[in-house]
Amino acid sequence: MELWNDMKLQINQQTYDVDVAEDTPLLWVIRDNLGLTGTKYGCGLAQCGACSVLVDGEVVRSCVMPAVSAVGKQITTIEAIEQDDVGKRVVQAWVNHQVPQCGYCQSGQVMAATALLKATPNPSRDEITAAISNLCRCGTYNAIDAAIDELAKPVGGNA
Amino acid sequence: MKPLTEHELAELAQETPINVSRRNFLLSSAGVAAGALVLSVGIPLRQARAAAATKMAPGTRVPAFLQITPDNRIILQSPFVEGGQGIFTAMAQIVGEELDAEPARFIVENAPTGADYQVMVGGPGRMTGGSMSVRTSYQTMRKLGALARQLMLQAAANQWQVPLSELITEPGIVLHKTSNRTLSYGELASKALDLPVPDPDSVSLKDPQAFRWIGKGIDRVDVYEKSVGKANYTIDLKVDGMLHAAVQHAPRLGLVAGDILNLKQVQAMPGVHSVHKVTGAVAVVAPHWWDAKRAAEALQVDWQAATSQRQGVRSMPADFSSEAFSEMLANRTEAGKDAETAGDISKVFSAATPESIISATYQTQYVHHAQLEPPSTIAQFHDDGRLEIWLPNQAPDMFLRDIAKRAGIAEDQIILHSPILGGFFGRHFLYPDANPYPQAIELAKATGKPIKLIWSREEEFLRDPLRPMAAVRMKAAIENGVPTALEVISACEGPGEAISGHDPDNVDGMAVEGLTGKSYQIANVRIAQDYVENPTMLAYWRSVGNSMNDFVYECFFDEMADKAGADPYELRKALLKDNPRLSHLLETVVKSAGGWKRGPFTAADGSKRARGIAMASPFGSHTATIAEVSIEQGQVKVHEIWEAIDPGTIVNPAIIEAQVKSAVALGLSQVLLEEVIYQQGEPLARNYDMYPILPPHMMPKVHVSIVESGEKMGGIGEPGLPPVPPAVVNAVSHLLGRRIRRMPLSRETFA
Ligand code: FES
Ligand code: FES
């Protein structure tokens, strides 16, 4: 196992230098080395989506992405979600619809919804279903749907 | 939350803060800044104060529960832990109502251990479970709010030198109308909370007619933090100088670690600090968890049979198969022990013609809690020998006792923190060998460092204690269109007896609840348990025995209806006609579904669908559900669920609706997908890939109706679950024209 010294990661518009073993998933660099614990660990196997972050605007399950492969890319975690216009609207909709229960999956849900709406501002129901597969053991799916449906509706004329 | 000022940060950084309460407040209000960072604060002031002070009835020592900041934020110590069920909000609502303070001003935390927080009337003191929180503490917590309000009034009367009787409150303030003066609670708090607490009997509670917040669907207090990743669970916390740990559990309980064949290589792996044998596992300690986990997985351990058995821990046989066990249960013929009887079934059965008798055997399965937050513990020994510990738990004082025993130190030398839970569903009770804290304590002792131990999902699924399975033999006599006798014998082990020990003279009520406690008018009934010990570790799971038993009973009910030539809804209605509460509930769910139609019918999208109906009466509440299903690509698709709940009296309808939907999701997950399968003594699935839980695309639209009958308050978190599996299976069986008697439905491919 190689140790990677001085890996430079661009997270939330900041540059971080980290020393980690080269197979370390991005998730554990974010949580352990950098203390950004809003991104959660649920399965470590790309099954649940709790670890979702944005890498160059695309939603990624950070538990299976080696940190090395994120070098040179723009990473956004839940901590900076409100600095993004779409992310801010997503959070607002989450509050309006009172989505979270235990909350553990919700960072990932918000990231996945933000990524979808950034790429496709007015997704259809099928597009939403295809894009968002994050698990929620508390079963907040109806509330998530309601929040995303609200956001997916064209607003005024400038949709 | 606003960032902390320099001054506040300095205050936080102090080694021994003068004002611990203030510091706790800063920590909680700092959100993300402090959230990820846990400072060792020593015994919280209120805890020390409470311990030193004279004995008072639980729930009456106001300063142990409430702090109010100068800027009018109210910090409430909740006796119940938040895990998604909305209890922090309900507590703010109940206390706020009587205190006359807006629930939105509250910051709610899980209270420390101690006698003050043992508020459950007629319950086990303090724990979060059994859908009991609000119903066992409602009056006490209201009284607490009323006492606090009285203190505010008294402090204002003292300050203004006016008679207390001239004062009134409005949300967050005391008002002297005649002189037009006001003082906010924040201004009064420091004086008010030092006043002696009045006799609880001297203050009266509000007339419910005048409630401002109780009964309303107010917003939950923690939704924003949870939407932006600022809520902190045990797994997110950190203490100075801490090391991380990961384990490789013994593949089967009852094995202990012998030689570690590649010890040298593992010790030399990157980042590894040390390797340790601990209870039931080998652990690797490292500065980073990933390094610890990678190394723990690489360990080659010679697992050997233990020479002695730890108390409460079962040895898993090397050849155990859950499928074979279930078949064995299904083939039993023992009569079992009576749990509930009425009339004389043997008389009816022996007089009945063979054609009038039906019988069937139903099978239920082991399931996982599968809460999304994997278990973890932080253990830290202080220089003075005290142990500070953070762990997910549903019963702080019970854990405290156990930790004291294991660590060999007095309870008052332990500071136990109980952070919010990333889901629980019964997972975080005291189960032998199913929690990381004993290992974390051992590692903290061995290394002399604070340790944070996280169980990976794989190690969690190996040790998660299971919801029991059962095989239930049903037999009924149907005469003149109604069931005249019903016998139910469940071959199973209940979670209660599995955890606390089997009592050969009694039936574990939790083994048979949902078979017992039914309200249908059937004159001759025998419900029995045929106890069979399991080799697995068993646990409580959301709605406990009801989660499996209502499936069995309510599905067989439809078989009885079919035999009687009756519609299953009509037969339920007929057998409940003398029960106005349940009759009304049944009507409510039928009405919300636009009337009863069983089908099969063709839906607008061309699919062939059917509906099923079922009822349950768990945890003091009553529920009724209708499910609409079709078969798509060989699997069951649930299109819609209508559920009506009558919890008697309600505190927050929005939370009730959210909890019912949540329970529906878990019920669907169980009936459609979930089953823990053991082969050769090990679980087949170690992660969500092989143990699927309900994904978003399988969630139907759920319509919730709340009936407030005004009866005694029942539970909220669990009652929504039990009628869901039978409503689905009744619909599926009708659609297929053959009976399904086993969960999950994914066991079969349907034509
Ligand atoms: S933790 Fe990454 S998908 Fe579950
Ligand atoms: S809110 Fe608990 S897992 Fe989604």
pLDDT for the residue B55: 77
What are the beta bridge partners of residue B637?
B630
Nearest Cβ partner for A101 among B84, B228, B271: B84
Give the fold, CATH level 3, of B322-367+467-747: Aldehyde Oxidoreductase; domain 4 (3.30.365)
B608 Cα distance to chain centroid = 37
Rg (CA), chain B: 28
Distance in Å, CA A19 to ligand 1 centroid: 23
Question: Residue B226: its chain A contacts at CB < 8 A?
Answer: 100, 103, 106
Q: Is B708 left (phi over 0), alpha (psi -120 to 50) or beta?
A: beta
Q: Where are the alpha helices (DSSP H) in B501-579?
A: 509-512, 546-564, 568-575
Exposure string over B401-438, b if 16+ CB within 10 A, otherwise e = ebbbeebebeeeebbbbbbbbbbbbbbbbbbbbbbbbb
pLDDT in tens, chain A (159 residues): 567 778 999 999 999 999 998 889 999 999 999 999 999 999 999 999 999 999 999 999 999 999 999 999 999 999 999 999 999 999 999 999 999 999 999 999 999 999 999 999 999 999 999 999 999 999 999 999 999 999 998 765 443
- Kindly report the CATH number that applies to the domain delimited by B234-309+375-454: 3.30.365.10
Beta bridge partners of B527: B340, B488
Residue in A closest to B237 by C-alpha: A37
- Residue B454 to residue A41, Cβ atoms within 8 A: yes
The domain spans of chain A are: 3-79, 80-152
- Alpha carbon separation from B511 to B193, B488, B542, B614 (Å, rounded): 47, 12, 14, 20
Which residue among A23, A43, A136 places its CB closest to the CB of B688? A43
What is the per-residue burial (b if ≥16 Cβ within 10 Å, else e) of B111-128? bbbbbbbbbbeebeebbb
Element (H, E) at B108: strand B106-110
DSSP three-state, residue B465: coil
Residue with structure tokens 């040179």?
A: A72
Map tokens 């604070």 to a residue.
B450
User: Do residues B72 and B123 lie in contact, with contact meaning Cβ atoms separated by under 8 Å?
Assistant: no
The secondary element (H helix, E strand) that includes residue A116 is: helix A106-119
What is the DSSP secondary structure assignment for residue B689, as one 8-state letter? Answer: T
Q: Across all residues in chain B, what is the average pLDDT?
A: 92
Nearest CA in chain B to A129: B697
Q: Indicate the pTM of the whole model.
A: 0.92
Which candidate from A1, A32, A138 shows the least CB-CB separation from B662?
A138
| Residue B495: partners with Cβ closer than 8 Å, 6 or more residues away | B467, B468, B508, B510, B511, B538, B539, B540, B541, B544, B545
* Domain A80-152 -> CATH class: mainly alpha
Any long-range contacts for B203-208 (C-beta under 8 Å, 24+ apart)? Answer: B203/B143, B203/B146, B203/B147, B203/B149, B203/B150, B204/B146, B205/B98, B205/B139, B205/B142, B205/B143, B205/B146, B206/B97, B206/B98, B206/B142, B206/B146
Residues in CB range of B307: below 8 A, 6 or more apart: none
Ligand 1: residue of A32, A39, A55, A61 to mutate (most ligand atoms within 8 A of CB) is A61
Angle between helix A106-119 and A85-96 (nearest 10): 130
- Residue A121 is predicted with a pLDDT of 95
Verify whether ligand 1 is closer than 6 Å to residue A46 (CB atom): yes
Rounded to the nearest angstrom, the distance between the alpha carbon of B234 and the centre of ligand 1 is: 18
Q: Do A102 and B371 touch (CB under 8 A)?
A: yes
| Same fold? B234-309+375-454, B322-367+467-747 | yes
Burial zone of B302 (CB within 10 Å; 0-12 exposed, 13-18 middle, 19+ buried): exposed
Ranges of residues in chain B with a pLDDT under 70 are: 1-54, 123-124
The alpha carbon of B638 and the centre of ligand 2 are apart by a number of angstroms equal to 21
The packing angle between helices B568-575 and B580-592, to 10°, is: 150
Q: Tell me, which fold does domain B6-227 have in CATH?
A: Aldehyde Oxidoreductase; domain 4 (3.30.365)
| Alpha carbons B137 and B651: distance in angstroms, whole number | 12
Q: Which of A22, A26, A41, A77 to mutate to test the interface with B (most CBs of B within 10 A)?
A: A41
Q: What is the pLDDT of residue A68?
A: 94
- CB within 8 Å: A35 and B238: yes
Q: What pLDDT is attached to residue B40?
A: 32
A155 contact B CB<8A? no
Could you tell me the two tokens for B748? 């079969």
A-chain residues near B289 (CB < 8 A): 28, 32
Sheet holding B74-78, edge to edge: B66-68, B74-78, B106-110
Q: Are B550 and B514 in contact (CB under 8 A)?
A: yes
SS3 B64: helix
Residues 11-40 of A with CB under 8 A from B: 20-21, 23-25, 28, 31-33, 35-40
Q: Which CATH superfamily is domain A3-79 in?
A: Beta-grasp domain (3.10.20.30)
Preceding peptide of B317 cis, ω within 30°:
no
- Give yes or no for residue A49 CB within 6 A of ligand 1: yes
Give residue A154's pLDDT. 72
Name residue A45's amino acid.
L
Q: Which residues from chain B sit within 8 angstroms of residue A133, using beta carbons?
A: 695-697
Q: Which residues of A fall within a CB distance of 8 Å from B456? A: 44
Nearest to B224 among A48, A95, A141 (CB): A95
Contacts of B419 in chain A (CB under 8 A): none
Ligand 2 site, CB within 6 A: A 100-106, 136-138, 140; B 84, 372, 423
Q: What is the DSSP letter of B449?
A: S
Sort B398 into a burial class: Cβ within 10 Å, 0-12 / 13-18 / 19+. middle
Cα within 13 Å of Cα(B227), Cβ side: 26
Domain map (residue ranges) of chain B: 6-227, 234-309+375-454, 322-367+467-747
> Can you say whether residue B120 is alpha, beta or left, with left for phi > 0 and alpha for psi between -120 and 50 degrees?
beta
Q: 3-state DSSP call for residue A104?
A: coil
